[in-house]
Structure 1
Amino acid sequence: MRVLLFCSVLSLILPAAAADRIAGRDFATRSEVIAPHAMAATSHPLATQIALDVMKAGGSAVDAAIAANAALGLMEPTGNGIGGDLFAIVWDPKTKKLHGYNGSGRSPKSLTLEYFQQQGITDIPPHGPLPVSVPGTVDGWFALHGRFGKLPMPQVLAPTIRYARQGHPVHQTIAYYWGLSVPRLSKWPGFKEQFTIDGRAPRVGELWKNPHLADTLQKIAAGGRDAFYKGDIARTIDAYFKANGGFLSYEDLASHQGEWVEPVSTNYRGYDVWELPPNGQGIAALQMLNVLEGYDFSRIPFGSAEHLHLLVEAKKLAFADRARWYADPAFQPAPVARLVSKPYAAERRKLIARDKVLREVQPGTPKELQEGDTIYLTTADKDGMMVSLIQSNYRGMGSGMAPPGLGFILQDRGEMFVLQEGHPNSFEPGKRPFQTIIPAFITKDGKPFASFGVMGGAMQPQGHVQIVMNLVDFGMNLQEAGDAPRLQHDGSTEPTGQNTMMSDGGVVQLESGFPYETVRGLMSLGHHVEWALGPYGGYQAIRRDPDTGVYYGASESRKDGQAAGY
């Protein structure tokens, strides 16, 4: 990692814009991928190839997304797996409509807030049995497949089962994060036995096999979702948690059900940007865009202090509402329509000053109501179906809890609950925690324009806004929009209640590539600026030309991924 750090520091000294060596365009590490029939963009080249193979065999974009997600659970367990949750947005060319799926799981019904209080626990720990909630991914696969799939599920899961038995070489970024996880998680039963090689993480290029996961996927392929939630897999999980001080039970798994939800949108300069409603944080991106729409970015250069200042201030406003309103709507309904409305954005925009920073921000009061790691992938098929899918175990490799013989780790998403009565995100039995993972989609004039996502905790809505602005305001192509340097603002009040209220304006973290003039300009406005290596998310995207139907693909240059088509 010393080489990576050196390169990052060196880039602060050299001119800001990295240019494509052929086209001369700023920020392009490579060309967009262009294909006439189908496209896939994932964070692992082998998963991308699996997705393409599925579509070449007659599968839909949903089949391809499920196949790629299954592969990533094997190949990139540092970010996802069938022990985690899933969200998706699907463009259906038949109905010409977007469909959203919330595949997040709920807290164990037998675990209560009183238990934590009796144990003297004030924050849910990041690892072990207590942060584990019901994994929603497999249910999500079958819900999506039932509505939009073409190939039988055994055929969809077959490539991953084959790689799990025969092995695949581990990629560089994944090997690095795997190495970080092993010391933290090896204390938990089943992890060391199933996710290390003689107690260590696999090395770059080393073949990794997971026969236990192959067996689990084989059972799911043959028996459907109930094989996971009501069969031997569920019974194994139940027994494992009973033996290790946990609460996740067979009943929790058997009663799980995800839900179809209506995506929410706002129009940004003629483009409709779509997100899913809470319990996720997607509408924060819409709130930010609504505020930023009030400024003329044709007169504000990309990467200038004014551009980044306005972006950060809009984020502070949206995240104040995020901390107050975003939670499981079954327990704490949010005034979504008002939060994403233009009049509300106009009210909030008045709080922004162009010559100084907001040190603290209170949430709005809408009138009608008195180290997370993730994978993102997107697929598109010959019929025009496009899928935007995000999936995660939450914190790195999740809780570390790996039931024997199953080959996967349970997520630790329950860490996002607050152990405080009356808080919107307070822990309650059978409740869905606040979720950071959000897929996104853009339409224009009622037609699909782009499917995209930026993974990475609180960076995600900030990243979504930066991608939209890069495409719409700054005229970048799909690859340039992802390669351009990003910022992350840190320090807003969190919906998890683990931080105090923001009182100092937080911290602006800048990726290498912004000029010193911008840094000085931000500091003169009162921003606290830091250089940070790594927290800027991972991006994949597919754009469809509405006239020709040709697909354009882009993949994150900061990770191991690939966009490819045919």
Structure 2
Amino acid sequence: MAEKPVIGTKTMVVSPHYLASAAGARILGKGGNAFDAAVAVSATLAVVYPHMTGLGGDSFWLTYSTEEARVRAYNGSGRSGYGVRRSCYAGEGAIPRRGIRSAITVPGMVDSWDAMLSKYGRLTLAEVLEPAIGYAQSGFPLSPDQRNNTLFAGATLSAEASAIYMPGGVAVSAGSRFQQTQLATTLRTLAAGGRDAFYKGKIAEDICDYMLAAGGYLTRDDFADHQGDWVEPIHAEYHGHKVYQVPPNSQGFTGLMSLNILEHFNFGEIEHGSYEYYHLLVEALKLSFRDRDRVLTDPDFSTIPLVQLLDKNYAGQLASTISMQKAAQLTSQPIGSDTAYAAVVDEEGNAVSFIQSLYFEFGSGVVAGNTGILLQNRGSFFSLDPNHINTLEPHKRSFHTLMPAMACREGKPVILYGTQGGEGQPQTQTLLLTRMLHYGMNPQTAVSEPRFVWGRTWGEPTQELKVEGRVADEVLADLAGAGHIVRKVEAYDGSVGHAHAISIDDNGYRSGGTDPRCDGAAIGW
């Protein structure tokens, strides 16, 4: 059954938490544009979805300005510290996934807020941070998702983090008022001092002094030298649409490769929800993952052959290797999945598709002293193998899962889409786009329909294909018969991520869809 999207004639905001969506709507209502509203959403998510994202993490952005009439990308990911090198972990098999020694990359998200507002915004940073500061100081109803993640990861939290998220050693119950007064103070300092307060001023000093005392590696110089980058987005043509992604160190090209492969198949002959539909998408994605794992890292440290990877002839070669009767036996590496995607379109047609993360739930598990800031553990994904493409080196960006998407037709945005979930991001994005373009689904239906996620997760040795239980049993049986290691999960299972989308039709109406698997909302008028 088709689900109804939220329709707006002028604006639309989607995010994984209703208060963040409301914050974006408030900013639009007071005269801000899509860029102002997006920063408000981003900052509010850092408060009301703290297990997924925060000031101590990274973000990636795709933007469309009606004045410029072009899509741009901003890489808001941080680099490892100047003093961080493989020898810091001599005798260890891997970088710790949690703790102060996993927090080795500078947080890039605050810099990206400044980039958005200084280039395109109408309002001040203090104005767009107002909703986030209010929720941090006065509190908000703690979400079921935060409660569940606290129960799952609470044992990994530092003393400072535990005091906030598990006061008295007990996870706060869902619906209870949850306040973060330390974070509110930090946000006020940021609102008053701007970007420099975070990277060169008091906030940087507090974070780095804490890290030094706790045995961490990031220094004031690492923060002071951080700079995100405006970069040219990459794209692929797919059925009359130009689909944009952020270039490496983002895995965005993986989603484009999958679309290029799928272009060689006739979806008019493939029933949605059938064995053929799911099998084909999984096999195309596997092939793109194989190349991703071989080449993806910081492009400043290694040449990434994007021209070859996005070549249509190469996609045809890959497509010819797909068997519709048998699953390819390929492997993937486990990737963190805790992320928050959101999007905004304003009355003028400006559009922002963005995504942010701490990497794991609660990131490193470490709150930097009295700042209230959880530090990301994104750098723990670096390899200690000197021959690995993603090997740890000083001042380097890691392989990054974050990948917001935007599809344009005749030069203007028509679909903004993305999802939580590291390995699942290109998979769910491919599901959403094929559903909307080939089967005419609105954003809410596309998001709500059953999903899958293929690959290995932490602690699981098999390359499972997790499929939601609403998929027909005969389809699951056919997938297993083809060699997929099928695991049936709940009907609306969190393992497939939290996806959101906005579409813009020929009349300019905005349709928004948010994931029933999370606490989000679509707000438009």
Helix, strand or coil at the partner of 2:186: helix
2:414 is aligned to: 449
Matches within 5 A, 1:421-460: 421-460=386-425
Q: Per-residue deviation at 1:212? A: 0.9
TM-score using structure 1 length? 0.89
Is the aligned partner of 1:524 residue 2:486?
no
Helix, strand or coil at the partner of 1:198: helix
Please list the CA deviations of residues 308-349 of structure 1 after superposition, one character each: whole Å capped at 9, or x if unmatched. Answer: 111111111100001011110000121112211211101111
353-362 vs 90-99, greater mean Cα deviation: 353-362
Distance 1:238 1:453 in 2: 33
1:338 is aligned to: 308
**One-letter amino acid matched to 2:303:** P
1:89 is aligned to: 62
Is the aligned partner of 1:226 residue 2:196?
yes
Q: Per-residue deviation at 1:131? A: 1.8
What is the identity percentage for the equivalent residue pairs of Structure 1 and Structure 2?
A: 37
Q: Per-residue deviation at 1:524? A: 2.1
Q: Per-residue deviation at 1:491? A: 3.9
1:178 paired residue among 141, 144, 150:
150
Q: Per-residue deviation at 1:499? A: 10
Q: Per-residue deviation at 1:361? A: 7.5
1:245 paired residue among 215, 224, 234:
215
Distance 1:190 1:433 in 2: 27
Matches within 5 A, 1:497-508: 506-508=463-465
Is the aligned partner of 1:168 residue 2:133?
no
1:393 paired residue among 355, 358, 365:
358
Distance 1:236 1:361 in 2: 42
Q: Per-residue deviation at 1:545? A: 2.1
- Contact 2:150–2:165 (8 Å) recurs in 1: no
- Contact 2:442–2:511 (8 Å) recurs in 1: no
**One-letter amino acid matched to 1:263:** P
2:73 is aligned to: 100
Matches within 5 A, 1:166-565: 166-185=138-157, 188-360=158-330, 371-491=336-456, 506-532=463-489, 533-546=493-506, 548-565=507-524
Moved over 3 A (4+): none
Helix, strand or coil at the partner of 1:88: strand
125-134 vs 78-87, greater mean Cα deviation: 125-134
Is the aligned partner of 1:122 residue 2:81?
no
Distance 1:57 1:159 in 2: 12
- Contact 1:189–1:403 (8 Å) recurs in 2: no
Change (3 A) 1:102 1:356: same
- Contact 2:78–2:108 (8 Å) recurs in 1: yes
Number of paired residues? 518
Q: Per-residue deviation at 1:47? A: 1.1
Distance 2:150 2:308 in 1: 42
1:39 is aligned to: 12
Helix, strand or coil at the partner of 2:190: helix
- Contact 1:161–1:214 (8 Å) recurs in 2: yes
Question: Which runs of 5 or more residues in structure 2 are unaligned?
Answer: none
**One-letter amino acid matched to 2:46:** G
**One-letter amino acid matched to 2:102:** P
TM-score using structure 2 length? 0.96
**One-letter amino acid matched to 1:539:** A
318-327 vs 525-534, greater mean Cα deviation: 525-534
Distance 1:316 1:401 in 2: 34
Distance 1:124 1:181 in 2: 18
Helix, strand or coil at the partner of 2:406: strand
1:138 is aligned to: 110
